[in-house]
Structure 1
Amino acid sequence: MKRSRKYPIHKRRGAKKSLLGILSIIFLCSGIAVILLYGVKSRGAARKPEINIAPRKPEINSAIYEASAYLGVPRKNIRFGKETEGQIKNVTIIVNSSFPPAFVNHVFQKFITDAGGVVHDAVEKGWSVNKILLAVGDSSGITHRIKLIRRHSAPVESTYVALLIDDFCVRSIRLEQKFFKLGIKFSAGILPSREFTRNIVTLLAEYPNVERIVHLPMEPRGYPDIDPGPDAILTSMSDKRIMELTMKDIDQIPGAVGVSNHMGSLATENQRVMRAVMMILRQRGLFWVDSRTTIYTVFAEIAQELGVKATKIDHLLDPEGFSKEQIEQRLFEYCLGSRGKPAVILNAHVSDTILSILAKDIPVLRRYGVKFIWVSEAIRRKAQWHRKSQKI
């Protein structure tokens, strides 16, 4: 019988020590490799070149043209002279003296700083401040010297604004009649089935400068807690009922040329509802003006599908909670900012505040080249501009 070979105890202990030593060396080498690899990556990241983005160069020339357009200055009245020593451009701009000097100064400085420029100096000269001298450029120095000359004979380019005043037949007849006497063209959004609807329609026969638009009450989000009023279009109604109510509401305002939505943040999102409404508009030859009570309105696609003329308001003058000063500022901003566009449609609501602002500012805006038109004219001008832009 063959005996199994036995190793001495001290040799077995030596084998265990050798095994532990090998494992220790492996772990040690692994740790060193990790440290070295991390160090290489860290050094590589540290050596990665930084990307330096050069600061945007101020677009002074563009700002000059934009500020001039805001004030109705024709291109021929903007003259760039030869560059002086140090490559400073001299610019002479002739502005109509209807614009107060402080306003002219403010407009140019605002457009230049908004474009990233710096106003280094501003001097108003003359007994009636008929000259304003601006030294503008960037942070490194002056690049343009601008001479603004205020002249009574300077032409002012026209801009076209359609005022759509909504919610007639809700306030007193006396207040609403004052809007008709403003002496400008504007469009009145008239609510059907109200206490004064018939009175206002009768009264409008004396004011041919006022365009009639049916302000169609439609279901808002939050209905019935938020009530759009009698004979409103609801999403729960059948197509037949929607069409019947739409015809009834239109018939109450003879001479109406278009329809807009009163409230309707839920109804104007519904394709079925809007299709039923616009089928009646197509039959009657009326256009649609969307009040933009929701960003999800489907008026545009339904109007295109049915071949109905349609547009939307461009700006709301009197959002809830805005002060009289804020509303007045928006009026000037939107009117003067409309230059270069075919027309803009500004929406407001019957109130003492809006009446006071318009009565005060309409004469001023007219001097500034603003021409007030109807919404129907704005739609036509926008369509013509769109056709021309497609041909280019």
Structure 2
Amino acid sequence: MRRRTRIVWIGGILCFICLAGFLYFQNSHQRQQDKSYEIKRSGAGGTVDFSATAHKIHVAVNNALAAAGLQAEAEQEGEQRTKLQGTEGAVSWSQRKALVKVADEATAKKLETALAEAVQSIPAKIIERKADQYQGYEATRLDIGLQSKVDNETITCITDQLYLVNMPKPQVKATEPQPKPTRARMAIVVDDFGYAREPITAYATIDRPLTFAILPYRMYSNEAAQAGSRSDRQLILHLPMEPLAASEQSEATTITVQMSDEEIRNTADQAIRSIPGIIGVNNHQGSRATADKRVMSQVLGVVKEHGLFFLDSRTTSKSVAIDVAGPLGIRTTSNDLFLDNNNEVDAIKQQIRTAANMALRYGAVTVIGHARLHTATAIKEMIPELEAKGIRLVFASELLS
């Protein structure tokens, strides 16, 4: 009897040991299978790094946007880091924020469904949907990311914050006449948006491609950017730079030749980030700064970092902007003619005719006007004459080299 009892006890102990071993192995196996993060040791602590998974989510989000015919704009990306509770360890991952323009709420809902399906297999999901703002826009924010357990602590990593903004495209009138065969192209860049409200509407209602050059930090800068986006204009930053005469300097925040390299880069970077949706930069004033190779090397270095093009306004014949941009691989173009040094409508029309002759002779021309009502009137009234000559208005980005 005692022997049988001993056998039962021994069998029970062996079963317990086997069960414990199985559970330990299963738990260890599951932890080994969790490929969503990588543990990096450093001293007494360590970092649980989700960067690789975050990159997969970025790619999946981009693919979903591309499939929907949309794209992320005004992107900001950086590393996020948080401490693990009760340890010296930390969690890190890559996070980006971006603006996505959608035609209407139905498009936004459809995109939300597509995004959820695109990241599901990673696995990731849409963690939150809420009303928010981004760079002056009213938006619906989608927080996309992953949730994972690390040492029994639930970690939430928001890898992509998409700000969906409703920007319906204007309907093309069915009665519009067919355009004439194109003989030449003309890009009209309109400088100095931000000073006043009235020119914004005047230019937004001209039903042809125009490029809005918007000053940073002005009262109507964001309004001009929003109106330009809604009316399918191309937006660039009108970056204040030092003129030859100090008395002519119009902006408080201006890049000058006295600045250090770091000051120049910081000033350019902050100005670029201040205007949502820009795809390029041109200089406001700048007859002294654009002739300085050191200054332009720093400015154009920041332009390249943001993936933008540069339009040299050519306020001086001594500008080195194009020469400096070439080795950096930055796409550029330059101003061929100012339209409104004389602010009378008839004088501006005559300058547009001069630009038209240049376009017909060389095939293309880039010209600059300003955000003034007389200039808007002259451009609008000259469109039929330009198109009758076979000159097509295009965005500045279409004439880059």
Q: TM-score if structure 2 supplies the norm length?
A: 0.53
Give the Cα separation in 2 of the matches to 1:205 and 1:378: 20
Q: 2:291 aligns with which of 269, 272, 290?
A: 269
Partner of residue 291, structure 1: 313
Contact 1:287 1:309 in 2 (8 A): yes
Partner of residue 397, structure 2: 376
Q: Could you list the per-position Cα deviations for residues 11-45 of structure 1 after superposition, in whole angstroms to 9, with x for gaps in the alignment?
A: xxxxxxxxxxxxxxxxxxxxxxxxxxxxxxxxxxx
Give the Cα separation in 1 of the matches to 2:278 and 2:187: 16
Q: Helix, strand or coil for the counterpart of 1:261?
A: strand
Partner of residue 313, structure 1: 335
1:322 Cα deviation from its structure 2 partner: 5.9
Partner of residue 211, structure 1: 234
Q: 1:163 aligns with which of 188, 196, 201?
A: 188
Contact 2:238 2:282 in 1 (8 A): yes
Contact 1:336 1:370 in 2 (8 A): no
Go from structure 1 to structure 2 and tell me whether the alpha carbon gap of 1:156 and 1:377 turns closer, same or farther (over 3 Å shift). closer
Amino acid at match of 2:355: Y
Q: Helix, strand or coil for the counterpart of 1:230?
A: coil
Amino acid at match of 2:274: Q
Q: 2:301 aligns with which of 279, 288, 294?
A: 279
Amino acid at match of 2:294: R
1:281 Cα deviation from its structure 2 partner: 1.0
Give the Cα separation in 1 of the matches to 2:303 and 2:199: 30
5+ residue gaps in structure 1?
Answer: 1-154, 384-392
1:252 Cα deviation from its structure 2 partner: 1.2
Q: 2:216 aligns with which of 192, 196, 217?
A: 192
Partner of residue 227, structure 1: 249
Give the Cα separation in 1 of the matches to 2:375 and 2:286: 23
Q: Helix, strand or coil for the counterpart of 1:338?
A: helix
Partner of residue 120, structure 2: none
> In the TM superposition, what are the counterparts of 1:1-392 in structure 2 within 5 Å?
157-171=182-196, 173-208=197-232, 210-223=233-246, 225-319=247-341, 321=342, 323-379=344-400, 383=401
* Deviating 4+ runs (over 6 angstroms): none
Contact 2:225 2:277 in 1 (8 A): no
Percent identical: 28
1:157 Cα deviation from its structure 2 partner: 4.8
Amino acid at match of 1:349: H
- Indicate the RMSD between aligned Cα atoms, in angstroms: 1.6
Go from structure 1 to structure 2 and tell me whether the alpha carbon gap of 1:180 and 1:312 turns closer, same or farther (over 3 Å shift). same
Amino acid at match of 2:188: L
Q: TM-score if structure 1 supplies the norm length?
A: 0.54
Contact 2:193 2:212 in 1 (8 A): yes
Amino acid at match of 1:249: A
Give the Cα separation in 1 of the matches to 2:258 and 2:312: 21
Which protein is bigger by CA-based radius of gyration?
1
1:280 Cα deviation from its structure 2 partner: 0.5
Q: Could you list the per-position Cα deviations for residues 87-139 of structure 1 after superposition, in whole angstroms to 9, with x for gaps in the alignment?
A: xxxxxxxxxxxxxxxxxxxxxxxxxxxxxxxxxxxxxxxxxxxxxxxxxxxxx
Contact 2:213 2:236 in 1 (8 A): yes
Higher relative contact order (CA 8 A, sep 6+): 1
Q: Helix, strand or coil for the counterpart of 1:293?
A: coil
Amino acid at match of 2:185: Y
Amino acid at match of 2:214: I
1:309 Cα deviation from its structure 2 partner: 1.5
5+ residue gaps in structure 2?
Answer: 1-179
Amino acid at match of 1:236: Q
Contact 2:187 2:395 in 1 (8 A): yes
**Paired residues, number:** 222
Go from structure 1 to structure 2 and tell me whether the alpha carbon gap of 1:202 and 1:337 turns closer, same or farther (over 3 Å shift). closer
Give the Cα separation in 1 of the matches to 2:295 and 2:184: 36
